[in-house]
Chain A
Amino acid sequence: MTDIAIRLAEVQKSFGRTEIIRGVNLAIPRGERHAIIGPNGAGKTTLFNLISGRFPITSGTIEVNGQSTAGLAPQEINRLGLSRSFQITSIFPRMSVFENIRCGLLWSQGYRYSFWQLLGRQKGLNDQVEALLDQLNLSARRNLQAGLLSYAEQRALEIGITIAGGADIILLDEPTAGMSHSETEYAVALIRRVSEGKTLLMVEHDMGVVFGLADRITVLVYGQVIASDVPTAIRGNAAVREAYLGTEAA
């Protein structure tokens, strides 16, 4: 098992003639909590989409747990041990909260495409779902249709589905977007808890969250990495300040 959870080498992505990612190199060691920040349009979500297999890369290589993801479908990358959440909440709105989490667990528990096992009888599985719901503080809402949850609850559910499968690499795309201050605090505590011992890659705009959680930060501007370092170094980095605030302030 390699030391590096995610490795990007000279990754480049163009949509038609528009180059979005222009040669990104990144190596995230196992167990690290890593944040990607940068101005809007820098390509952060695109990078996520490349890593998780939603889009194919134009050139370069991406390795997850030592294996190249070239040509792999999203579900195949997921089975390598990588799981992601989405910027726009992506849950199963017509199913109950309980079912949402259970769906997140099925594959990792070995259920595959079985049409002969009754889920109601799978005690081990259902107990695990209950435990996870408890962790997410959603136990009281277990039978509610997921689409009817409040926004913050849906975001928590989103994180829940993401980690349910026990993936050891977790990608969170703006997990606290649109949350109030107290909801954000709660979400950060949740993220810290569930990412214990795992590799976390996070896109965030909220600097408080970033500096509070991340071991290392990468700054992405116009599809290129302009800095990748520990939080204190990033805070003092002139190029970063320039990218965010403009040249006068630097």
Chain B
Amino acid sequence: MSFLRRNWLWFLAIAITLLIPFLFYDWTKGRHSGFALTLMSEIGVMAIFALSFNMLMGQAGLLSFGHAILFGLGAYCTAHVMNAVKAETVWLPTELIPLVGGLGGLVFGYLIGWLATKQRSTAFAMITMGLGELVSAAALMFMTFFGGEGGITTDRVLDTSLFGVSYASPWQVYCLVLAWAVIAIVLMRLQTMTPLGRMANASRDNFERAQFVGYDPQRIRLLQFMLSGFFAGIAGALYTIIYEIVTFDTLAAAKSANALLAAYIGGAGGFFGPILGTIVVVLLQSGVSLLSNAWLLYVGVLFIVMVIYAPGGILGLIMQHAPIRRTGRMRELALPYVRIFLPAVVLMLGFVLLVELTSFTTIGAAQGKIFKIADTVVNTRTAGPWVAALFSLVAGTIWMRYEFRIFKLTWDALMDDAKRQGLVQ
């Protein structure tokens, strides 16, 4: 099979991501939607970040609470270099700027990794947490490198492009981000199939056994940490290019938490899980946060639901269907899925309405907003909406439990069939 045919899925994905912004293209004015492009670029950057995080969590079994340090430090380094290029003290093509971030991430990855990887798992998590808090607090205090509270600003129009592109427009930036995202993702994917990548999995599965096949697991962890820092730094550099300002929140615990959420929700067990999770988290963050004050609550609830019912993330859920797909009886799940989809929608609507009403009563009203559902103004002081929301929530839950029991029967029957056919692996 030719290279093109073997990797058709990759090419399809690239094509789709190139075409999506055109769905929001303003044909009358001949302009791209800035919002859509920034959102897509954000997804690209955070996807690289989340994947680099999963090199530690999913691949090597290391939970780092300070991964944003590598992202942020890469971003700061890039900002300084970009300013130097602008001042013409240094020359570097714009297209290669992300490598600066990568290099920064690599170096700091070595320094931090050297401290952290000597520890076993919980101590490792705590050290990364402590270092994370340290560096993000330091960023607020020191002016020379971090620019204090104001951060470091820069300009991405550097006139050093290899292709003569100015990168003034969001579309050009998006293409740059996409190009680097493809490069980074491909490299990270290939890395999982190298000796280091495999032994990282091995040391995650069994630290001691890895020793007894001749490897030093600490060395494996350090190298994996450094490589993960390299890619996190690239993500940070792309961030700098997009937003042209780097502040302390690129280092903050919230940023690290973002990577964790994205990786876990998407599914830390497979390679592409974090990409799925990033899409979900960024959409929630950028989309829902515009509509609702309580988006962080929804993230928390989603998170908890996944931790309890779907610890393998979205990818894990999809993979669970694999044996049934192999029996060729997937279509028998179609109706059951519709049947649990309906009560799920009712349940969620009730929950969302309740949350929004509460949030509005305490926060929104004080801010002088009006509660609207699709252009209809709703008076939150009457009992009506509250009763409706509560009813929807309770009824939805009861209905859901009933339907889920039926769904489970179908599922179990199909899985038994798969087991009998020896298709379960």
Contacts and interface: CB of A to CB of B under 8 A. Distances in A.
Interface residues of B, number: 28
B72 to A, nearest CB: 24
User: Which of A73, A84, A106, A144 is most buried by chain B, counting CB atoms within 10 A of its CB?
Assistant: A106
B120 interface: no
B247 to A, nearest CB: 33
A83 B209 CA distance: 10
B419 to A, nearest CB: 12
B329 interface: no
| 5 smallest beta-carbon distances between A and B, as pairs | A107-B214, A115-B196, A92-B205, A111-B195, A74-B211
B212 A78 contact: yes
Interface of B: 190-191, 193-199, 201-202, 204-206, 208-216, 219-220, 223, 227, 425
Given A74-B212, A102-B198, A148-B425, A118 B205 contact: no
A186 B199 CA distance: 30
B211 A75 contact: yes
A52 to B, nearest CB: 7
B213 A116 contact: no
A195 B142 CA distance: 64
Interface of A: 52, 54, 73-75, 78-79, 83-84, 86, 90-95, 99, 102-104, 106-108, 111-120, 143-145, 148, 161-162, 164-165
A118 B213 contact: no
Nearest to A122: B195
Given A74-B208, A93-B205, A95-B202, A120 B213 contact: no
A116 B190 CA distance: 8
User: Which of A113, A118, A120, A165 is most buried by chain B, counting CB atoms within 10 A of its CB?
Assistant: A113
Contacts of A112: 195
Contacts of A78: 211-214
B213 A164 contact: yes
5 contacts: A83-B212, A103-B213, A106-B213, A107-B213, A114-B196
A103 to B, nearest CB: 5
Contacts of A86: 208-209
Contacts of A75: 211-212, 214-216
Contacts of B208: 54, 74, 86, 90
Given A112-B195, A115-B223, A107 B206 contact: no
Contacts of B215: 75, 106-107
Contact of B201 (A95, A113, A116, A165): A95
Contact of A120 (B193, B206, B211, B425): B193
Given A73-B216, A78-B213, A92-B205, A99 B198 contact: yes
Contact of A90 (B204, B206, B223): B206
Contacts of A73: 211, 216
Nearest to B190: A118
B196 A113 contact: yes
B206 A52 contact: no
B206 A93 contact: yes
User: Which of B206, B211, B212, B215 is most buried by chain A, counting CB atoms within 10 A of its CB?
Assistant: B212
A89 to B, nearest CB: 10
B205 to A, nearest CB: 4
A95 B205 contact: yes
Contact of B195 (A104, A115, A162, A164): A115
Contacts of B201: 92, 94-95, 99
A161 to B, nearest CB: 7
Contact of B214 (A52, A108, A119): A108
A160 to B, nearest CB: 11
A130 to B, nearest CB: 17
Contacts of B202: 92, 95, 103
User: Which of B190, B206, B209, B213 is most buried by chain A, counting CB atoms within 10 A of its CB?
Assistant: B213
B212 A113 contact: no
Contacts of B194: 114-119
B209 A84 contact: no
Contacts of B220: 113
A46 to B, nearest CB: 16
Contact of B193 (A90, A91, A104, A119): A119
A149 to B, nearest CB: 12
